[in-house]
Every structure is written in C-alpha cells, then in structure tokens.
Amino acid sequence: MTDYFEVHERDGAARLAEVRLDSPVTTPALVTDADRADGAPEAGVARPVLSDAGTGWTTEPGVPEGDESRLTVLPARGFPAGTPEDVQDAFAPEYPTVEFPSAAVVSAGTVADHGTDAYVLSGAQGLVGHARAFVDAMIRVRETIPPDAGLYLPGVATPANVATVAYAGVDLVDADRAVVRGTQGRYLAVDGHQFLEDLDELPCACPACQQPREEFGREECARHNVNALAAALKTVRRRIRDGRLRDYVEGQARHEQWLTATFRRLDQQYGYLEERTPILRQAEITAATEDTIRRVEIQRFAERVTSRYRNRFDNPLVLVPCSARKPYTDSQSHGRYHDAIRWRAHKVSMTSPIGCVPQELELTYPAQHYDSVVTGRWSANETEFVASVLEQYLERNDYPRVVAHVPEDYRPVCERVEERLGTEFTYTVKDHPTTTDSLGNLAGELSGELKYGKRERQHNTVRAIADYQFGERAGDALFDDLTVRGSQPGLQAHDGDGEQLAVVVRPYGTLAFTLAGARHWVESDAPTTRVEIDDFVPHGSVLAPGIVDADESIRVGDEVVFEGPSAFAVGRAEMTGPEMADSTRGIAAQVRHVDERD
C-alpha cells in the first residue's frame, strides 16, 4: 500500500507519476542523495530527495528516521548481479512498516511486495548491455510490485538509454553512471558517446560546455553528462504526456545495439505491454520503421479485425490501397473509388503497418491515427504481415468474389494470399488506381451488383464497431433492435422505442454509452467490462480507493460500467483492471453518466 506515489498518465509501461513529498517529484525523474554535497556534478539538476539508511551486514539494522521531505531507502543488504537466489533469500531483510515515504531494496530473483512506496532494483548495473536479462528482470519486478509504486534503477541511466529504460517501466534514475563516464573522459549524448580527446569542439550548449575547449576537462565533462541526462529525461516526460514515447524510442534506441534489442524483446512480451497500452488516444503513430508493425496498437487492431470483426454485407469485396490523408474517406483517391463503387461492394483498405481496414472501422483507433513512410516498395516483412492479416480476414469472412483495385506494389500481397487460399482475385488497375481507365474497369466489374442502402450501411457500421470494441458478435447482442440517427461520423444508436443507447465518438471511432445503453449492455450477452465500487455516488471521476473489484480485461480507454450499492454509472477507464483493483491512489476512471440508487 502506497501513500506517496501516484500515477497520472501512462504510455505503455512508462508512467508520468508523482512522488508526493513535501516538494513533489514528477517521474521519470533524476534523483540523488539528499545528503550529497552541493559541489557534486548533479547538484542543481537532480532532485536531492533520496535518503539511504545504509547496509547492515554485521548487525540487524533498526528502524531509520524519515520524514515527508525525502524518500528513505530502508536498510538492506545489497548483492551484486549474479548472486545466487538462495544466498539472497538467506539474508533477505524484514522491512518495517513506517509512516514516511520509503523504498525497499529488491532483486529480480527475490522481488516481493513489501508495501513500500518505491522499490530499488539491486544489481541493476549488471543488466546494462544485456537485452534479455534486462527485459526479464523488468517484467518480473514490475509484475510483482504494486502498480502504484515507483521503480528506481541506480547506476544505469545515460542520455542514450534513459528513454528505453523509461519505456520498460522505470520511474527513477540517478546520475552515477553519467558521472563516472565523464570522469573517464566520455562525453555523453542521446546518440551515444565520444571520447573527450577526440572532440575539436563541444556540440552542446549546456552551462558546463560554455567555455573554451582547451579548458574543458573531465570534471566539466561529468557535469555536461548530467545536464545531458536531465535534458533527455525532459524529452521523455514530454513524449509520455503526448502519448508518443514509442515513436521516439524506435529512432533514438538505434544508436546502441542493446537498446534496439531491448525494445524488440519488449515487443515480444506482448502481454506485458498490451496490458499497459491504452486502447485509444489522439496522438498520431509515426510508422517510420518496420518495428512499428510489432507495436501493441498495430497488433491489437489486426487481432481484433481478424477475430472479432464480421462482415455483414452480401456484396463483393473490393480491396483498395490506403491514402496519405486520414480518415481515408476524406482523401481524393478514396472519393474516386467511392464514385466507382457506389455502394455496390464492401471496401477494405490495405495498408502497412495497419493491415486491413474495413470501411466501417476507418475512424477507429489507430486506423485514422497513423502516418507511414511511402517509398513505392514494400519490404518482405511488410508484405508478409499484411498478407497474413488479409488471409485471416478472408478465412473468417465470406464474399461472393474479391476485386483487387490495387497498384503494382500491392500485387505481391494479393498474390501471396491467392496462393495460400487457393482462390483468384479480379484485378482492375491498368496503370494507377485513380486513372480513368482503372476506375472505369472497377465500375464495370461491379455493374451488375445491387446497391445497399444508407440504413444498412449505418446499422452495419454501429454493429461492426461494437464487435471490434467489445468482442465477437457483440454488435448483434447489443443492437438487436436498432435505429440509427445522425450521420457519419457521429452516428447515434437508438432502440426500437427511440431511446438513445450509444453514440460513435468522432476522435476515436468507438462507442460511448448512455445510461440506458449501459443497462442494456449489462443485460445483453455481449462481453461487459465491469467495475464494482464502494457505497458512494461518483461524480466526475472514480478514485482507486473506491474500487472494490474490476475486470482484469479492462484497459486504459475502455468503456466501463460501474456498479455499487448507491450508484450505477458508465464512463471511460483511466487505469487497467488490475491497477484499479490493486492501487491505493489515482484516478481509476472518468464518469460520464451516473444514476443514484435508492
């Protein structure tokens, strides 16, 4: 249980949090010992908030003194990396319960919940440079300690690695490694390091570098390194606030091989990152590398399209390329495709890195929230990923035939799927998809098909979004008697009696329920994300201490129903389900509508 650490914003495993001391500290933060001399290189840059109660090897340590001005590291016996777990267990301390901000020292092999506000990972320095060991340790520690507790890695951070370290889930770092590297004559930057003797001029404008090169020695180099680390952390915090830390890490981590390996290994731990990654946000995904394909948002969208979404149209399928402008329907090219199709076929856009986007989900995150690098050539990984998604999509959905209105660089994807499924597509592009001849071919291919009407389009869109958002066949379970009002993108779902149940939220392309819709959701067969709250009536938000229990499947951004003795409400999650159940601080959800019970 923590009283002094509260998470405010999340970007995957990275968190923007507050260490609630007399003078609060915003994480990810650079911290140092409160008793360190003012002349230390980190003075004036790192927050002097740590108080180390020391190591007691010869005697059992007593309870240290502490107060709310600092984070006191409780007495423990530190072990170097590689110490056998049975040895660590034999000397494991019994941490006292204290009334001030405290941190327990743990190792990856013996980590446990000690009820402190933060945890210090001993032997962390031995993990630097070893991607597998670092990722395994981070996952084990973060999944064992409480979600509303900070994690401190001492002796690890540099300007080059701190973004990846934060991305993995670290909240607090110190400047020890940066200082040591400076005293060794290594000049650090976000793109690695250079030896001081190799520098003809100083490529930095920090205060330590504002002197002639010949007067810049190793002491000044250490101060520069700390300044560079502090600046890198400011960038990390800004990226977390914007929901764009992963975009930054994909490029910045390229400067050191172990960092590239680290975030790729994190991608392989899908469950760890998926639980912590919001299901929606307005920040754009920059698809500038092939690693984007492995992002949680991309993999989650592809998985839901191929396992939850179900086509409800009886018309042929038309495959078209994506467009630079989002949503696709706002682009000139898709406007021309529409003029040729004229509601006589079901349109699905093919794109890297998203995969396949049915027309009903073009607004749904992240289909309208990405921008990719267009070269006119697809890599082998891009071709295989999109082909795999299309193959699974066609195995799940039946169409009378498939028309591929795609340019030459999309053909290998289609041909690979044709071969795997033993089917044939009809190709209509002569030279470019938007030329008169190509569009004429597409229109001619659909000349005998019947149009589907506005009512069918709207109903299918609402139900398809529900499938994607809540689970397979949720659209039919939720909207068995459906009337749709309004127009794209703000469709409103009503029941047969005219009562509004939900509305499509334009920024995310997802459904938001009214109270009537929430009750109908609870009573239907659709998968429901529920939160049990204590005996109170929530207004505006629900705090974690008021949560009794929550579905483990809840992710940040999910639509959730709140039920308690005094209230029934609906809103949007600000924490995951496990966080709601285990946290003692923080906003668990924002409430949209609430009904007070008698």
CB 298 within 8 A of CB 381: no
Residue 91, pLDDT above cutoff 80: no
pLDDT band at 76 (very low <50, low <70, confident <90, very high): confident
pLDDT band at 96 (very low <50, low <70, confident <90, very high): confident
Residue 74, pLDDT above cutoff 80: yes
CB 336 within 8 A of CB 330: no
| 3-class secondary-structure state, position 97 | coil
Q: How far apart are CA 291 and CA 310, in angstroms?
A: 28
Residues 6+ apart with CB under 8 A from 314: 400, 452
- The pLDDT, as a whole number, for residue 59 is 54
- The pLDDT, as a whole number, for residue 65 is 82
- The pLDDT, as a whole number, for residue 247 is 94
Neighbours of 94 (CB within 10 A): 6
Average pLDDT (256-275) is: 95
- The pLDDT, as a whole number, for residue 55 is 59
- The pLDDT, as a whole number, for residue 37 is 60
- Return the bridge partners of 392, or none: none
Residue 58, pLDDT above cutoff 60: no
Condensed to tens digits (0 to 9), the pLDDT of residues 144-160 reads 999 999 999 999 999 99
Neighbours of 390 (CB within 10 A): 23
Residue 184, pLDDT above cutoff 70: yes
- The pLDDT, as a whole number, for residue 89 is 73
pTM over 0.85: yes
Q: Please state, for a pLDDT cut of 90, what percent of the chain lies above it.
A: 82
525 vs 488: which has the higher pLDDT = 525
Average pLDDT (86-105) is: 82
- The pLDDT, as a whole number, for residue 78 is 67
- The pLDDT, as a whole number, for residue 372 is 87
Q: How far apart are CA 297 and CA 246, in angstroms?
A: 11
Average pLDDT (83-95) is: 74
Condensed to tens digits (0 to 9), the pLDDT of residues 529-567 reads 999 999 999 999 999 999 999 999 999 999 999 999 999
pLDDT band at 62 (very low <50, low <70, confident <90, very high): low
- The pLDDT, as a whole number, for residue 61 is 60
CB 339 within 8 A of CB 439: yes
Residue that has been written with the tokens 């998985």 in this structure:
303
Cis omega (within 30 of 0) for bond into 400? no
Structure tokens at 6: 């509260």
Identical topology for domains 285-445 and 471-596: no
- CATH 3.20.20.105, domain 5-275, yes or no: yes
- The pLDDT, as a whole number, for residue 586 is 93
Q: Where are the beta strands (DSSP E) in 209-314?
A: 285-287
| 3-class secondary-structure state, position 266 | helix
- The pLDDT, as a whole number, for residue 289 is 85
Looking at residue 73, the DSSP 8-state letter turns out to be: E
Neighbours of 160 (CB within 10 A): 21
Average pLDDT (479-488) is: 90
Structure tokens at 56: 């007691």
Indicate the burial class of 425 (C-beta count within 10 angstroms; 0-12, 13-18, 19 or more): buried
Average pLDDT (117-129) is: 92
Q: How far apart are CA 239 and CA 296, in angstroms?
A: 17
Q: How far apart are CA 406 and CA 322, in angstroms?
A: 10
- The pLDDT, as a whole number, for residue 562 is 96
Q: Please state, for a pLDDT cut of 70, what percent of the chain lies above it.
A: 97
Condensed to tens digits (0 to 9), the pLDDT of residues 393-424 reads 999 999 999 999 999 999 999 999 999 999 99
Residue 590, pLDDT above cutoff 80: yes
Average pLDDT (18-23) is: 94
Number of alpha carbons in the 13 Å side-chain half-sphere of residue 79: 20
Structure tokens at 435: 């030329």
- Domain ranges for the chain: 5-275, 285-445, 471-596
- Quick one: fold of 285-445? Rossmann fold (3.40.50)
Residue 131, pLDDT above cutoff 80: yes
Neighbours of 88 (CB within 10 A): 18
- The pLDDT, as a whole number, for residue 276 is 95
pLDDT band at 53 (very low <50, low <70, confident <90, very high): low
- The pLDDT, as a whole number, for residue 54 is 62
Q: How far apart are CA 324 and CA 331, in angstroms?
A: 8
Q: How far apart are CA 78 and CA 84, in angstroms?
A: 13
Q: Where are the beta strands (DSSP E) in 337-387?
A: 346-351, 355-358, 370-372
2 vs 135: which has the higher pLDDT = 135
- The pLDDT, as a whole number, for residue 287 is 87
Residues 6+ apart with CB under 8 A from 83: 107, 123
318 vs 122: which has the higher pLDDT = 318
DSSP secondary structure letters along 332-345: HHHHHHHHHHTTSS
Residue that has been written with the tokens 């003012």 in this structure:
38
Q: The domain 471-596 is classified under which CATH number: 2.60.40.680, 3.40.50.2000, 3.40.50.850, 2.30.130.10?
A: 2.30.130.10
Residue 597, pLDDT above cutoff 90: no
Residue 1, pLDDT above cutoff 60: no
Condensed to tens digits (0 to 9), the pLDDT of residues 421-469 reads 999 999 999 999 999 999 999 999 999 999 999 999 999 999 999 999 9
Q: How far apart are CA 259 and CA 135, in angstroms?
A: 11
Which helix (H) or strand (E) segment is 353 a member of?
none
Give the ranges where 91-175 is alpha helix by DSSP (H). 131-142, 162-168
- The pLDDT, as a whole number, for residue 2 is 76
Condensed to tens digits (0 to 9), the pLDDT of residues 384-393 reads 999 999 999 9
Q: What average pLDDT does the structure give for the chain?
A: 93
pLDDT band at 230 (very low <50, low <70, confident <90, very high): very high
Look at residues 504, 537, 502, 531 and name the one whose alpha carbon lies nearest to residue 517: 502
Q: How far apart are CA 14 and CA 19, in angstroms?
A: 15
Condensed to tens digits (0 to 9), the pLDDT of residues 331-362 reads 999 999 999 999 999 999 999 999 999 999 99
